[in-house]
Amino acid sequence: GGPGPKRRAGDRQVPEGFYEIDGLNPNSLFHLSLRVDYPNAEDRAAATVPLKELGGDIFVHGGAASIGCVAIGDDAIEEVFTLVARVPAGRRRVVLAPLDLRLNPPPPTDDARVATLYRRLATELASLAPRAPRPP
Nearest-angstrom CA–CA distance, 76 and 44 = 30
pLDDT for 67: 80
- For residue range 54-79, what is the model confidence (pLDDT) as tens digits? 999 999 999 999 887 999 999 999 99
Whole-number Å distance between alpha carbons of 19 and 35: 10
The set of catalytic residues is 61, 69
Of 71, 68, 59, 46, the closest CA to residue 1 belongs to: 68
Distance of CA 77 to the CA centre of its chain: 14
Nearest by Cα to 19 from 117, 105, 129, 110: 117
How far are the Cα atoms of 6, 35, 59, 60, 132 from residue 26, in angstroms, in the given order? 25, 11, 12, 12, 31
**Cα distance between the two ends of the chain:** 25
The better pLDDT of the pair 4, 53 is held by 53
- Measured CA to CA, the distance from residue 104 to residue 5 in angstroms comes to 17
How high is the mean pLDDT of the chain?
A: 92
- Would you say the pTM of this structure is higher than 0.85? yes
